[in-house]
Amino acid sequence: MSNQSLNDKQAQFDEYFSITHSINANMRALDADEAVPDIENIEDAMPYAFRIASEMAAIEAQAIRPLRNLSDHAESLADYLNHQSRKIDLMMSFVLHQQDEPEYRFKTVRFGGGGVIIDAPSALEIGTNAELKLFLDAEAAAIFCFGEVISCEQVEDRYHIAFIFNTIREQDQELLVRASLHIQTLQLRKRAQEKKAGS
């Protein structure tokens, strides 16, 4: 990643769909002597709550899949299991929110599978690495990863800092892509309803 030019990194950021949307994020800039873990070692750096949340999501997806092939009689069972799953998601969301550290709390401007843009009161130098936590309330999920600053743009008295993900698990990247597409669907639906109400 460090051998890539800034243009290459920007192109990688733009490769993935991203959406303008505000979610809670934690961003802790790493000291110059702090190394960014590689993908094989990211789970060692990851808080335990993030690891179990990811495993629970994978188990849930595997458990629900076989029910789709059953007849109509399984519909009630599927509904029941979906409600149970929702309860677990809410509990997991609560656990993950305990990982939200107020001193590192920011809001995103935009996010997607390639990176995130964070609104901050002060600038960060391009090339700075940071530990990132992204909290996806709509998905009852959160993501732990590392990013590198690829741009820092002043907007009035604030800064929009763009991070490209330099260490993120594949399943977390997929979750960000799904979440951004889900939010876009909700936004489009809301816009269509407003248009219909206005006409």
**CATH code assigned at 174:** 2.40.10.220
Rounded CA-CA distance 131/194 in Å is 39
Q: Is residue 108 in a domain? A: yes
pLDDT for residue 2 is more than 60: no
Q: What pLDDT score does 73 carry?
A: 64
pLDDT for residue 1 is more than 50: no
pLDDT for residue 63 is more than 80: no
Q: Is residue 35 in a domain? A: no
Task: Using pLDDT thresholds of 50, 70 and 90, give the confidence band for residue 65.
Answer: low
Bigger pLDDT: 117 vs 185: 117
User: Is 137 within 8 Å of 110 (Cβ atoms)?
Assistant: no
Task: Provide the residue count of the chain.
Answer: 199
Q: Is residue 1 in a domain? A: no
> Tell me: the pLDDT tens digits for 146-198?
999 999 999 999 999 999 999 999 989 998 998 888 888 888 888 888 888 88
> Tell me: the pLDDT tens digits for 68-77?
666 666 777 7
Q: What pLDDT score does 21 carry?
A: 93
Q: Is residue 19 in a domain? A: yes
Is the pTM higher than 0.75?
A: yes
Burial class (CB in 10 A: 0-12, 13-18, 19+), 178: middle
Q: How many domains are contained in the chain?
A: 1
What single-letter DSSP state applies at residue 68?
A: G
Q: Is residue 14 in a domain? A: yes
